[in-house]
Chain A
Amino acid sequence: MIIDGEKCVGCGACVPYCPVNAILLENGKARIDEARCVECFTCYRSWICPEGAIKIPVLEWPREIRNAFSDVAGTHKVTGIPGRGTEEMKTNDITDRYGWGEVGFCVELGRPGVGTSFREAEKVSKVLAGKGVEFEKQNPYTHLIDESGKLRFNIGEERVLSCLIEFKTKLENVPEILRTLRSLESEVETVFTVGVISRFNPDGSIPILSLIEGEGFKVRPNAKINLGLGKRPGGDS
């Protein structure tokens, strides 16, 4: 982001709106801490500046990647959908992205609200690649790494609001993946959330619950559930 120093009156109204504390008030003017700013454009979209001093810059590589991963209003060029990931399980009743015996994982670095550099995400993807997981091909982060989970570009220090790593594995590998994620807790300098995706059994039970609890993880009472109302055009769910 850019704050036009000529227009800024130093009222500080914009400061609390930044999700990553990148707006500083110094010498009677607001300015952007460029190292911290993730180019989410939240400050601009809040229309909080009475003088119109907040402006969207023209972003060039590699800085533009901050915006691609942080600006929720943008539609990602690869996925064709808004946000940092894919439709994941939200369209599984149509796409069958996660079939029987498969388990999906959504590991989101920097969430909730802390932010992350791609270097932190790389720490996780390198370890997961070594475990033979199948990274989601449509996920934006997958396009930035090679088969060993290493970043393909020199973007390690670029910061984003969050970076979602999506992958799937076989049901029997779930305990090992969970142990791996736990071991990564002390390796990363940021926070991360973990979501685990599974089909429901025909009787309505969830096949992965006992595996998760068996590894000592607690499942939160609220979840995201695909109701099975989606249909392929001309066909059944």
Chain B
Amino acid sequence: MTHTLHRLGDEDSLKKDYVVVAIYAHGINDNQPDSRDKLLRIAEILKSQRPINMINELLWNFTPAIQAVYGDKGSFKAALRLLKKEDLGISITVSGLMSEIKEIAEELGLKLHTVNLSLGVFGNKKLLPSEKILEMTSMCGHHCVSPNLVKNLVQQVIKNKITPEKAAEELSKPCICGVFNKARAIDLIKNLISQK
């Protein structure tokens, strides 16, 4: 499961995109009687720092993983500070610019454990949509957000049928993990329109 790894975009755009994933180690954490309480506590902490998006609250009691996405370094850092302080023992993985994460980790006294580096996309790249569309669709790492939906909604914004905010909200719906960054999507939609 590498769904938050290959998010595309330039560094300026990725500075507004930080994902946090808390997950049970299957067969280890989930055997403990207090494990659900710990995961729920993590969900509350992540929610308290005003994420742009996060996994639907209705799923908190069933899912083995809690995800949230932040649009600024301050909220992201505040969430990590709280997670470290509460020391709940559930694995926490973050996705974002390496340089920024290293800086925050140093400031908070976190000792980074393991990294998954993205080498990008290979193979028959003629099949891919444009880079700009991919910046949007790769925010749902399971790729449930269709390139055609992006094009369709951008056209509706151009025709003043919907706002960029409404388009971003609609784009976020297929991403049930809650890691689609709606604020970044608004920026990308406006950017797409300005280039037309």
Residues of chain A touching chain B, judged by Cβ–Cβ distance below 8 Å, are 15-21, 40, 42, 45-46, 72-73, 79-95, 98, 104, 106, 108, 111-114, 138, 161-162, 164, 181-182, 184-185, 188-200, 204, 206, 208-209, 212, 217-233, 237
Contact = CB atoms under 8 A, between A and B. Distances in A.
B123 A192 contact: yes
A19 B145 contact: yes
Contacts of B98: 221-223, 225
7 contacts: A18-B146, A21-B148, A113-B129, A164-B1, A209-B117, A223-B116, A229-B91
A72 B177 contact: yes
B196 to A, nearest CB: 18
Contacts of A113: 128-129, 134, 137, 143, 146-147
Contacts of A193: 2, 5-6, 118-122
Closest 5 CB pairs of A and B: A230-B91, A228-B113, A231-B89, A83-B1, A91-B25
Given A222-B95, A226-B93, A191 B29 contact: no
Interface stretch (B104-112, B157-165, B187-195): B104-112
Contacts of B5: 106, 193, 195, 223-224
Chain A contact residues: over half helix, strand or loop, or mixed? loop
A225 B94 contact: yes
Contacts of A206: 115, 117
Contact of A195 (B25, B28, B80, B117): B117
B61 interface: no
A185 B92 contact: no
B118 A223 contact: yes
A59 B98 CA distance: 42
A79 B65 CA distance: 14
B142 A192 contact: no
